[in-house]
Structure 1
Amino acid sequence: MPMKKDVLKVVAKSILGVITLLFSFGLFAQGQTNTPKLPNDFWRNVQFGGGIGLSIGSGYTDITIAPSAIYNINQIVSVGTAVQFGYISAKNDYTSTLYGASLIGLVNPIPQVQLSVELEEINVNTDYQYLGGNNTNTIWNTALYLGAGYRTGNVTVGVRYDVLFDYNNGYYSDPFMPFIRVYF
């Protein structure tokens, strides 16, 4: 779909522009002064988190590993990245492996509210064992999530919505997705 790709390009360029702009403010603030240099604060502003999922049942296995890291520009704005790996197997039905990455932007207008934007690109490779033989399907799924959540300490619970969602072509079955974020 050419329209979806054009929208994706505009959105990706906009997100990269915002991230560049946010980092530029930090660079302009680093002017020459006569005060002694302080140690590099970069790692003090980095938080790590992510998710681990395991679901095992009668002939079904779902394993997900999704580490992420964010850089706190200030108390309100954070940017980061995540990677995702997954394996799903339904006995005598299909197996699916996926991998991908995300760019994340977080805004905390007040300490209890977290707004987010996340651009996710995942590759999904599915092998079907039914329908008279093995069939393979590989897709790239692009999602642009806008989210909101309640934040307490290092934990945020909320929901996100994929604005690029297409019911006829994609990996997920619904544009809404609940989330729990934890960063240390």
Structure 2
Amino acid sequence: MAEDSRNILIGAVTLAVLLTGGVFSFSSSAVNTSAGVFVTAQFNRIDGLDAGTEVRMGGIKIGEVTALDLKKDYSAEATLKIEANIPIPTDTSVAIHTGGIFGGKYVTLEPGAEEEYMETGDSFEVTQDSVDVQDLLDLIIGQAKSNQAKVKKKLEELKKLQAGSRG
């Protein structure tokens, strides 16, 4: 019987420790999700951007995209949550970048020089849309085909010149 009591006591202590850890874990994550400055940025294209996408400054994560909305003028609005301890000058610019050719998208902030800082509800004035990798590849392929045609034409002209100089 004493062994049963000891097993029950060990089980109760283990359960209490797990519950306490769960409460602390939940409360610290709740604090992290609410702390921050919520600002918006308007874009024409936000291809590949989703809620949860990283917001970076100087290559370091300082926040995340929390929401995406289509506005009445058909522009896309991204809501960004920036860590509260990071002051963002009001003339900061925002751009959507790709992590390499096949990498995911992220939002990058280029800080301005203003001494006034963004507050919750503010909106960025200067934004740069997402560059679609397919559009970029199409442009590169188009340029390559154009250059190939020019080289082919020059080679034909050289052949004619060579034939003319021999005859």
Larger C-alpha radius of gyration, 1 or 2? 2
TM superposition score normalised by structure 2: 0.27
Query: What is the TM-score with the length of structure 1 in the denominator?
Result: 0.25
- The structure in which a higher percent of residues are strand is 1
